[in-house]
Amino acid sequence: MKKYILALDEGTTSARSILFDRDMNIVAVAQNEVPQIFPKPGWVEQNPLEIYASQFASMTECVARSGISPDEIAAVGITNQRETTVVWEKATGRPVYNAIVWQCRRTADICDELVKGGHADEIAEKTGLKIDAYFSGTKIKWILDNVEGAREKAERGELLFGTVDTWLMWKLSGGKIHLTDNTNASRTMLYSLSKSDWDDGLLDILGVPKSMLPGIKRSGAYYGEIDFMGVKLPICGVAGDQQSALFGQCCFESGEMKNTYGTGCFLLAHTGSRIVKSGHGLITTAAASLEGEGSEYALEGSVFVGGAVIQWLRDGLHFIEEAHDSEYFAKKVKDSGGVYVVPAFTGLGAPYWDMKAKGAILGLTRGTKRPHIIRAALESIAYQTDDVIKSIAGDTGVKLSALKVDGGASANDFLMQFQADISDITVIRAEMKEATAAGAAYLAGIASGFFKDKAEVKALSSNHRAFLPQMTREEREKKLSGWHDAVRGCRAY
């Protein structure tokens, strides 16, 4: 009888492995940092072999630390930083270039060319994405155009492409598995949402030979076996980090949504089998689905500066010593005293899409004190999230009743209550803090038969705290109107 599921969580800066038991208790965790390389301003890379080595070391350490025997593991699930691009030689496994990380802006010019070439509508229509350097397609093109001999080799079928999930599976299986899942594929700008497959027209536009691309499977499916510590383990779950968190939060149905409050905020709303195109600047993306199911979709909106505004209070302004002190100060005053912080440090995302906007603190008076500004900074995270929630509601026409939350800043009770109040929504914070890794574990668990179905995993994650909306409608509208005035003021400047 197998007793455990091993989740591999390859994030932007660290590779982690978490071993879960049948009740989703964490049995062991191991983590290794993966350094980023910054060759020029705006360029971000990682060494693919370091990504693999760190992940492999964390797996080994996690299982060794747990004291279990590896043959007690039922299946492995993988979740990963999305869009990050690796190209390697099929014959030797040698990467032809460093991994180009999702944050890297080097292909902004290629994106401008695509827009000038009149491809924006076709790309948006097929992929659900805005043309942006963020996605993998232009990163592959850059490698083929800039690494000596790469394009010729790719055309001869000698090179392979993968996002980080694919690269890890290829390495862990000794070159036997070259696959990805729908969620990772949907971030490449080469994938058609309606066909759930690579799109030849998009491959032509970006000049990417089809022979480089991995096969695509459902997120919960059998991917193949790896040799690990002397036993063969099946990989049965793969999903990009945000979609994995959506699954890990048990958002399986249309209208269910989650927000991850990390450095930025990532909000995903499940739209079931509907491909909803956004009129508010949101992205349409594949949601995790299981073998034998139809394709599932989600709308995604992000807030660039979420928890990072609290880092700024700590490290930039020295207003607080630790991030969690922000809650203590926010609760010292009865409101923000009319102060609004608009943390547009790197422009504003959905629904404004104003890359030139800069941040501002508005509404200062002689009576403004430090706690007012701290409180306003926390409130800004909720206001920005609310802007995305309203965009989703506008796009789907669905009344969204609950928001499931995770990520570092979701530990802040003041922020969670304010979110419930300002969005007039129930905020649900699960006891299980590892939603991203849990998603990969659930997918691998269901696909391997370790868990029976979605209903069983939903029952496992029933412990949570709910924050119910308490603010009057009048007060909510007044505060929201102040926020929108503040955003206008900041953009006018």
- Taking contact as CB under 6 A, which single stretch among the options 192-200, 322-330, 356-364, 367-375 is the one that binds ligand ADP? 322-330
Contacts with 46 (C-beta within 8 Å, 6 or more apart), sequence order: 34, 35, 36, 37, 84, 98, 99, 101
Give the nearest distance from C-beta 327 to ligand ADP in angstroms. 6
Q: CA nearest 134: which of 207, 82, 204? A: 82
Q: Of the candidates 307, 351, 359, 371, which one interacts with ligand ADP according to CB under 6 A? A: 307
Using CA atoms, how far apart are residues 267 and 388, in angstroms rounded to an integer? 7
Least Å distance, CB 415 to ligand ADP, is 6
Q: Are 301 and 391 in contact (CB under 8 A)?
A: yes
Binding mask 239-268 for ligand ADP (x = CB under 6 A): -----------------------xx-----
Cα 166 to Cα 170: distance, rounded to the nearest angstrom = 6
Binding segment (CB under 6 A) for ligand ADP, from list 20-28, 173-181, 239-247, 307-315: 307-315
If one asks whether residue 36 binds ligand ADP (CB under 6 A), the answer comes out as no
For ligand ADP, the closer of residues 78 and 310 by Cβ is: 310
Q: Candidates 50-58, 248-256, 268-276, 318-326: pick the segment binding ligand ADP (CB under 6 A).
A: 318-326
34-42: long-range pairs with CB below 8 Å, 24+:
34/10, 36/12, 36/101, 37/98, 40/106, 42/104, 42/105, 42/106
Give the separation between CA 351 and CA 329, rounded to whole angstroms: 30
The piece of 27-35, 47-55, 321-329, 478-486 that touches ligand ADP (CB under 6 A) is 321-329
* Residue 364: count of CB within 10 angstroms of its CB: 13
- 14 near ligand ADP, judged by CB under 6 A: no
Per-residue contact flags (x/-) with ligand ADP for residues 372 to 411, judged by CB under 6 A? -----------------------------------xxx-x
Nearer to ligand ADP, 211 or 311 (CB): 311
The yes or no reply on residue 465 touching ligand ADP (CB under 6 A) is no
- Angstrom distance (rounded) from CA 451 to CA 68: 20
Task: Examine residue 202 and tell whether it contacts ligand ADP (CB under 6 A).
Answer: no
Distance from C-alpha of 66 to C-alpha of 30, rounded to nearest angstrom? 10
Q: Which SS3 state, helix, strand or coil, does residue 455 take? A: helix
Please answer whether residues 261 and 306 qualify as being in contact, where contact means their C-beta atoms are separated by less than 8 angstroms.
Answer: yes
Closest approach, Cβ 306 to ligand ADP, in A, equals: 7
Instruction: Pull the structure tokens for residue 283.
Output: 């992205």
Residue 412 in the binding site for ligand ADP (CB under 6 A): yes
> Residue 94 Cβ, how far from ligand ADP at the closest point, in Å?
31
With binding defined as CB under 6 A, does residue 277 bind ligand ADP? no
- Rule CB under 6 A: is residue 103 a binding residue for ligand ADP? no
Task: In angstroms, give the least distance from the CB of 423 to ligand ADP.
Answer: 18
Residue 228 or 418: the one with the smaller Cβ distance to ligand ADP is: 418
Tokens of 373: 């500004």
323 binds ligand ADP (CB under 6 A): yes
Q: Are 27 and 21 in contact (CB under 8 A)?
A: yes
Residue with Cβ nearer ligand ADP (287 or 310): 310
Q: State the nearest-atom distance from the C-beta of 331 to ligand ADP, in Å.
A: 12
Shortest spacing between CB 232 and ligand ADP, in angstroms: 33
Burial class (CB in 10 A: 0-12, 13-18, 19+), 151: middle
Stretch that binds ligand ADP, among 43-51, 243-251, 319-327, 341-349 (CB under 6 A): 319-327
Please report whether residue 326 would count as binding ligand ADP according to CB under 6 A. Answer: yes
* 324 touches ligand ADP (CB under 6 A): yes
Strands 26-33 and 14-21: antiparallel
Using the minimum distance from each CB to ligand ADP, give the nearer residue, 222 or 304: 304
Q: Which of 78, 36, 259, 298 is nearest to 180 (CA)?
A: 78
For the beta carbon of residue 430, count every other beta carbon within 10 angstroms. Answer: 21
Distance CA 446, CA 444 (A): 6
Smallest separation (angstroms) from ligand ADP to the CB of 434:
11
Q: For ligand ADP, how many residues bind (rule: CB under 6 A)?
A: 15
The Cα–Cα gap between 182 and 129 comes to: 14
Mapping DSSP to helix (H, G, I), strand (E, B) and coil, where does residue 221 land?
strand
SS3 322: coil
Q: Which is nearer to ligand ADP, 32 or 211 (CB)?
A: 32
User: Which among 179, 295, 292 is positioned nearest to 284, based on CA atoms?
Assistant: 295
Tokens of 73: 């593991």
Min dist CB 309 to ligand ADP, Å, is: 8
Q: Which residues sit at the interface with ligand ADP, rule CB under 6 A? A: 262-263, 307-308, 310-311, 323-324, 326-327, 407-409, 411-412
